A = this chain, B = another copy of it.
Amino acid sequence: MKRIITVTPNPAIDLSYHVAGITPGASHRIGTPLSRAGGKGLNVARVAHQLGHPVLALAPTGGAVGAEFAAEFRNSGVPHRLIPVAAETRRSIALVDTVGGETSIFNEEGSPLRPAEWQALAAAVVEALDGHGAGVLVGSGSLPPGAPADFYPALVRLAHDAGIPAVVDTSGPAIIAAARAGADLLKPNNHELLDATRESSLESAARHLIALGAKTVLVSAGAEGMLAFHHATPGGYWSARLPEPLSGNPTGAGDAAVAAAAVALANGMTDITDIPGILRRATAWSAAAVLMPAAGEISPLHTDLESQLILSWKETP
């Protein structure tokens, strides 16, 4: 089996707190948080690793929060390499209101890396792609402030130079840049896709990314399931969904979909006839992630869920 290399340029320590009722302006007593090394590429690596696929997760980390991140991630057993940087690793805080039922999230945007640190991260990617073990390169998540505009395009080129496919899951201008660079698979959610392309329908938005250079666009649309657009099938797209939407924790569901796609691509499923199978697996893993309390894990029910999926081909009118 070929290895899935994930790159997370802006990782975070995810702190989840249960709060028994949140009153704005008040002081609240809370327990010890669930503290987890987070970031979308780490979640992708965790899910693929959980299902027995070889992975390597790369991320820059720094400061005392970075040390906490490193200690937590080491416990996961997921193979990884952390690139030391001067800037403090960011935090993401989730406040779960156990009375109101809502979860409020506060994501630090992260701190700039130095030019030499971006080079060290790129060098770690080159080293990971060296030899014949790597099967796919996945770049996931936001970029810290001041990141080079061509970071994700450069990842796509490094993958292609190594003869392997590149998957990018990000938002805003970075997803446009990754499409232009010819990413093999992009995985925006419906909101990110419409925001980045300024199109008014998911179909025109996905076609927009393909026109720029992307090969496949997988769109996660929450309870509506998932859509797959491919550059060689301009006449329509595949759609997969469960008969009934699941309730649970949607954080990390998109990352589980990326993990499914990455496993498929790493194992040579790069033909157009593979797309329905990739979509099925990505939709099932994503749904199985919703059933788990933490991001980066999927429920063993994923095979049952896959068998229940409703897959359809939608012709463009």
Taking beta carbons and an 8 Å cutoff, which residues of A are in contact with B? 15, 17, 19, 22-33, 63-65, 67-68, 71, 88, 90-91, 93, 95, 97, 100, 102-109, 111
Contacts and interface: CB of A to CB of B under 8 A. Distances in A.
A192 B104 CA distance: 30
Nearest to A251: B27
Contacts of A30: 106-109
Given A64-B67, A64-B71, A68-B65, A106 B111 contact: no
Nearest to A103: B25
Task: State the oligomeric state as a number of copies.
Answer: 2
Given A88-B32, A111-B32, A105 B67 contact: no
A171 to B, nearest CB: 12
A26 B63 CA distance: 28
Contact of A64 (B31, B68, B100): B68
Nearest to A87: B32
A299 B157 CA distance: 56
A179 to B, nearest CB: 23
A33 to B, nearest CB: 7
Contacts of A24: 22, 24, 97, 100, 102, 104
- Which 9 A-B residue pairings sit nearest by Cβ, starting from the closest? A64-B68, A25-B102, A27-B105, A28-B106, A64-B67, A30-B106, A24-B102, A24-B104, A30-B108
Contacts of A91: 15, 33
A202 to B, nearest CB: 21
Contact of A106 (B17, B67, B88): B17
A104 B109 CA distance: 20
Given A22-B24, A64-B67, A32 B108 contact: yes
29 contacts: A15-B91, A17-B106, A17-B108, A19-B106, A22-B24, A24-B97, A25-B100, A25-B102, A25-B103, A26-B104, A26-B105, A27-B104, A28-B107, A29-B107, A29-B109, A30-B106, A30-B109, A31-B109, A32-B88, A32-B108, A32-B109, A33-B91, A64-B64, A64-B65, A64-B68, A64-B71, A67-B67, A93-B93, A95-B106
